[in-house]
A and B are shown apart, each in its own frame.
Chain A
Amino acid sequence: MSPASAEAAKDKAATPPHRLKEAAALTLRGVTKCYGDGPPVLDSINLSARAGEVLSLIGPSGCGKSTLLRLIAGLIPLTRGTLEIASHAEVGFIFQEPTLLPWLNVADNVALPRKLKSAPRGTTRATPPSTAPILPSTDTRELLARVKLSARARAYPHELSGGQKMRVSIARALTLNPQLLLLDEPFGALDEMTREHLQEELLALHAAQAWCAIFVTHSVAEAVFLSDRVFVMSAAPGRLAHEVAINLPRLRNADTRLSPAYQAQVTHVSRLLRSVEQQA
């Protein structure tokens, strides 16, 4: 048994009974990804995320953390293993780049997922519309208020700053009320202050909607600040080498960054990351 799955088993045993009743938002069993006949990029990934949980994936470049996120999103097929997402769950994805349509204004960009969903389906889609109850999508105006962009609803992407563009991207990912939100280093290109503000805003949004999130990042501080659990990955092949539970109160703010408990966790994860990099 790999260290990660052993950890996962221990975690399950330690879970209080009321937690078990909550449906797992996401379960990965033995997920492996190879390109062609090449060696596995990701090897036997076991991972389970509860509803409302925030997990971070951190690891050296090329460890396959972005690939894992794309597998979960269904953007690329997996080679072996199983991937279960709670039935009828909407998945939101936030890319490294804001990825906005430049010819649509902010409000229309945010409403895009709804437009793609509500348009009449041609014969090109195999499955008929689901009859299962779907959560009502969140009103665009309300979403813009939550990401503090109400005043810029009619603006076009080229008129926005990098941080504002990323806020639009976040609002768009939340439009269909996802139960699972996947974030691929969304704040990597932003300056430190904008980055910290967006982290705090993301946690505020999480408190309001409580989606399960998988956050890929290069920053140990970011991973610790946002997460309930941090996974440190090793490279070639990509594996979940260490799992660290972040024992900080769920309500985190700017003061959290100054607390000794937070800094101790950052140090701990940094050491694990360094050890993984040395083994490679």
Chain B
Amino acid sequence: MPTRFRNILAPAATCPVVIALWYTLWHLLAPTQRFLLPLPHEILAALRDNFAILAHAILNTTKGALLGFTLAVALSLLSAVLLSLSRLIRASLYPYMMVLQMTPILIMAPILVLWVGPGLPSVVVITFMMCFFPLVVNTTQGLISTDRGLVELFKLYRATKWQTLFRLRLPGALPYFFTGLRIAAILAPIGALVGDYTAGSSVNGGSGLGFQAVIFSGQGKYAALFATAGLTCLLGFLFATAVISLSWLCLHKWHDSYHQHH
């Protein structure tokens, strides 16, 4: 398929160019400033030297991101069904959900450390806080945007409330849900990283990429810091790919967004 060909081959072709630019930039820097921009091979070496620590860190961050993300998906689905019931419920609850989204994580972190303890519990809650809002807003919008003709059709056949929910409203809300899910998938690793950075803990080997970034920058290990950044990108990429694939699986057969290229 030409599209897939383009999407894989084009970045692969530009890769040597980016790396060449990287080395050129390094050569242009004054020798005393070159430590600011570790070279790709130095970053790979740092990755190798710190492999055990980083592998452990990425596992911990993945665990925090997955738990927070899953919790956000589950609670947002239940909340969206509740919110879709009436305007009054939406008007009463939306402001509190916005508060959840708007409270800066930097301020919440120390509070969460007090409430649920440092490390994984705080990381999960912070990831949840970042992912929940886009999910609940999009899914609710999907549930209240059900085609009116289809609602009448279900009414005509005297469908029960559960049939209408599971056979009509939820499948109809799927495209909206996946819009929220894509945003949440990008936010989840960032949330876990920020959570770990601000409320992480190395007790019982619980430190993640955020915590490791604090340590590497304190030690002046800039190549290792860049390696940590690279792994965070990789994690974000994996989350996004997983969700985009899932979305394709559920929607490509019937949804318009996959059929615009005729």
Contacts and interface: CB of A to CB of B under 8 A. Distances in A.
Contacts of B156: 73-75, 91, 93
B5 interface: no
B255 A124 contact: no
A269 B171 CA distance: 45
Given A102-B254, A157-B254, A95 B162 contact: no
Interface string B226-262: 0000000000000000000000000001111001000
B158 to A, nearest CB: 7
Contacts of B153: 93, 95, 99
A158 B167 contact: no
Contacts of A93: 153, 156
Given A124-B160, A124-B162, A156-B253, A116 B155 contact: no
Given A95-B153, A102-B254, A103-B254, A122 B171 contact: no
Nearest to B159: A116
B254 A115 contact: no
Contacts of B253: 103, 156
B259 A115 contact: no
Nearest to A121: B160
A119 B167 CA distance: 11
B117 to A, nearest CB: 42
B4 interface: no
Contacts of B152: 75, 95, 99
Interface string B162-184: 11000110011010000000000
A73 B155 CA distance: 10
A190 interface: no
Contacts, number: 57
Interface string A122-146: 1011000000000000000000000
A6 B81 CA distance: 53
Nearest to A70: B152
B16 interface: no
A273 B186 CA distance: 62
B149 interface: yes
A116 B149 contact: no
B164 to A, nearest CB: 9
Interface in B113-129: none
Contact of B157 (A101, A103, A116, A157): A116
A124 B155 contact: no
Interface residues of A, number: 25
A99 B256 contact: no
B150 A122 contact: no
B216 interface: no
A54 to B, nearest CB: 20
A117 interface: yes
Contact of A125 (B160, B174, B255): B160
A190 to B, nearest CB: 17
A163 to B, nearest CB: 18
A162 interface: no
A244 to B, nearest CB: 29
B150 A101 contact: yes
Contacts of B162: 122, 124
B159 to A, nearest CB: 5
Interface in A55-102: 73-75, 91, 93, 95, 97, 99, 101-102
B259 A101 contact: no
A30 interface: no
Contact of B149 (A95, A113, A121, A124): A95
Contacts of A102: 254-255
Nearest to B161: A124
Contacts of B26: none
Given A103-B172, A116-B167, A158-B254, 6 more contacts: A97-B149, A102-B254, A102-B255, A103-B253, A125-B158, A156-B253
8 contacts: A95-B153, A101-B150, A103-B174, A104-B254, A116-B157, A116-B159, A124-B161, A124-B162
